[in-house]
A and B are shown apart, each in its own frame.
Chain A
């Protein structure tokens, strides 16, 4: 694998800068809330700047090659090195992780979860960021594994400490589930290592040597990796941790979980499992395809059954990641490109939806769909943003979600390497039906929550309503006053205001990105396509 080795410091700095911030925070006085948040934002912002610099320095003409490549000694005894690099496949996700952390930090300024202890919260977030970024740059299995697992604990605590009612159960479930997958994944990594002659854990070497492993052995090793990655994705039937974790997690946790963490699994498939074990991948592809499509339908049905807005969004992740996996399972560059785009798109859109869910919860103190209605009257901007994200999520062309779904569905028409066409075409049609279901549950959600009149419970508590009242005549004011009077004793809801400054700050980039990538997807396809094409070509070479 050809590499470019200029500016070798860049990735290391970008990845470990958050840890430095975490270290600083550790010694920051606990009472200085704004100072702590400031340091957090500053660190994440600096990391983001490094990310932007990386974007600038990246050689887009050679995006199939690993750039900023470093291959330093780390654990020589087990033949694992500090091998890092960035190519077109990982660049979008790497930068996305930085951006998401930064924006979530900004969001936290005004929206600290109730449990308090900002310091610990932000430290965890920064550690999380290092883990996420590291996973995307690692070019060595062991390094990958370390970063992959590094995200576990911070997320466990984030859910467990700052989460909702049922957080204890949810956090432990999340943890054990993922642990289960990664334990088998580690075993598979080692098996792969020894089957390739035990020479190196470096990706490049394993991709070279992996193809020559016996087919049966490949299938077994792939099975181990499949467990690890599929749990993380999550694929049906390993998804049950996800709704619980998402529902219980604090907003920030949900956003990061949806935007980045789930992608670690799919990224693992694209980066590790498939290129290193071509025969295994081919043997498993139909199963993955079937499970992916099951996930699409199943996730959608799950959504239709939900009464809780956040849980619904969580279930929709299962469906959306199904599209991503469907794309991957075709083993074509078309599908894998789609999957990679889908990852980023899903990260932006579902991340945004979780932001909204968090803010709604913050204002209404409930996410029960039947209690929420008329959001457009009480918080018009929030309501429209929700609508926008729902539309993006259901795959409306012109918004980012489409470019993950549409090519993925398309690619299933003609899977690669002699995979069964009738099977995948059937899957394609079912997946296409899945888009209808997606429309159904998202619009249903939107209709129930945003349209209509506000329920009596919350009526008259919003800024927007007050403003409307002020604009009318005396009679209105009188009736409004009377209206207010009846709710005087009920202060809990007197805080339904529209989108606020920090929310705007943290959301706008998401919204802009959804539109920009939706309108001009080439921005991302151009970066990914050469790398993916090369990957699939190599796959073709080893599969004959």
Chain B
């Protein structure tokens, strides 16, 4: 018995590890440990250093990403193609790191002033980012699963970070329970896929699934896996947790969830769709079509009713998710497939900027008003014109008004859909067009408060914005405008033709 095992072990071939390729992950791992250890030894008064350090870790992890990009090899594949570093992965890694950096800027003062645990927060944050960075490269069911849980579990805890706050508790618990439940369903689907195709490697699965020749188990597997990620990207009707969690969680965490975590979900979905399901388009295309249409519409009409700004942004991010999802519904189309990938990536990048920016404004303003109601933004233009203008930029961008980033993202999504030139595509585009208008209604309602109303309490004192938030705003405003005016800035990245090994039709 032992001999047998040893014999097997003798077959063990130490995998060749491309250390450069995994350098970003390694930097993050080291960062996790350093921050954790440092936290034990730092006096409370010096905890602010942790935030700075975490920020540096993020930027440090960005360095190998940049060097990898500069070297610009086609792709680096590890573990028999289960972990791939290609252009797509690099862009998204950079994106996640940048988003995390901005979120740290946003959370710093919030955590200090709220008296929360700081060290642990940053450690969890780093862990979660590590999961996202891994997700960009994961090309295997197992690695995807691991990355997913690595990014989710810390997020559950961060959502409940305000320990004494009932709402925050509730936010954490709901997120947790539903998240785990969704993981379970997804895993169940994955097990079917594994059973049917006899592999966990996405490309193998892709080779084994063929349209028109799918058995029930495979269909269920595909549907359940997509539903699992649909939860992550809070697509309707898997979105129910999102508004509650977003509202209850500390605002920087909400920002993180609504941008990074959602993006990670999309990354996984894109990988799976393009690598594993290219030939199951009969299954996933209708499913995603319905999900996209529902997500946009329900998210929007519910957002119309909101009076709390965070909750409004929650629904808004639900509906934005619908727009991102929209091109994927035509990923299997021979015309639109390539554009769909570009559209999703570009949208994610732009969405990151504008949504983070919106949350940064909310944080900055609520420091003064201590309220999350939309009406509390009244008169902002009077006493804080800078913030008001920035807010206008973000909200207008979310509404998709040129020349701000959001319009280009939306345009690209429309473009990918219409490229399919099928009736389903035209109908979805029309639905999306109507939704653009509905969404403009509530974005403009917020801006109306900002510009046209008087301050509800008549308090005209200026808002003091801490410098980290100013920095966060600066990054996001510039990002939003630059992408809109010179879209080439991001389309350079979106020019990537495909994922390594993907079968783009």
Contact = CB atoms under 8 A, between A and B. Distances in A.
B452 interface: yes
A153 B391 CA distance: 13
Interface string B403-436: 1000110011011001101000010011011101
Given A77-B491, A156-B444, A142 B411 contact: yes
Interface string A150-177: 1011001100110000011001100110
Contacts of B402: 145-150
Given A77-B494, A157-B451, A176 B429 contact: no
A191 interface: yes
B440 interface: yes
A28 B301 CA distance: 41
A175 B399 CA distance: 11
B450 to A, nearest CB: 10
B437 A180 contact: yes
A10 interface: no
Contacts of A194: 335, 418-419, 421
B415 A175 contact: no
Given A78-B491, A120-B385, A186-B433, A153 B414 contact: no
A78 B487 CA distance: 10
A77 B488 contact: yes
A219 to B, nearest CB: 13
A120 B430 CA distance: 36
A481 interface: no
B342 A77 contact: yes
Interface size for chain A: under 10, 10 to 19, 20 to 34, or 35 or more residues? 35 or more
Interface string B235-264: 000000000000000000000000000000
A250 to B, nearest CB: 13
A186 B452 contact: no
Given A161-B452, A179-B437, A187 B414 contact: yes
Contacts of B419: 190, 194, 198
A184 interface: yes
Interface in A402-419: none
Contacts of B412: 78
Contacts of B399: 179
A544 interface: no
Q: Secondary structure of the B side of the interface?
A: helix
B448 interface: yes
B401 interface: yes
Given A146-B402, A153-B396, A186 B414 contact: yes
B440 A175 contact: yes
B418 A168 contact: no
A355 B276 CA distance: 65
A516 interface: no
B38 interface: no
Contact of B487 (A75, A120, A168, A180): A75
Interface in A65-83: 73-78
B451 A179 contact: no
B95 to A, nearest CB: 18
Interface of B: 335, 342, 381-382, 385, 392, 396, 399, 401-403, 407-408, 411-412, 414-415, 418-419, 421, 426, 429-430, 432-434, 436-437, 440-441, 444-445, 447-448, 451-452, 486-488, 491, 494-495
24 contacts: A74-B488, A75-B408, A77-B487, A78-B412, A146-B407, A147-B402, A149-B402, A153-B392, A153-B401, A156-B444, A156-B447, A172-B444, A179-B436, A179-B440, A180-B434, A183-B433, A183-B437, A184-B430, A187-B414, A187-B418, A187-B426, A187-B430, A191-B418, A194-B421
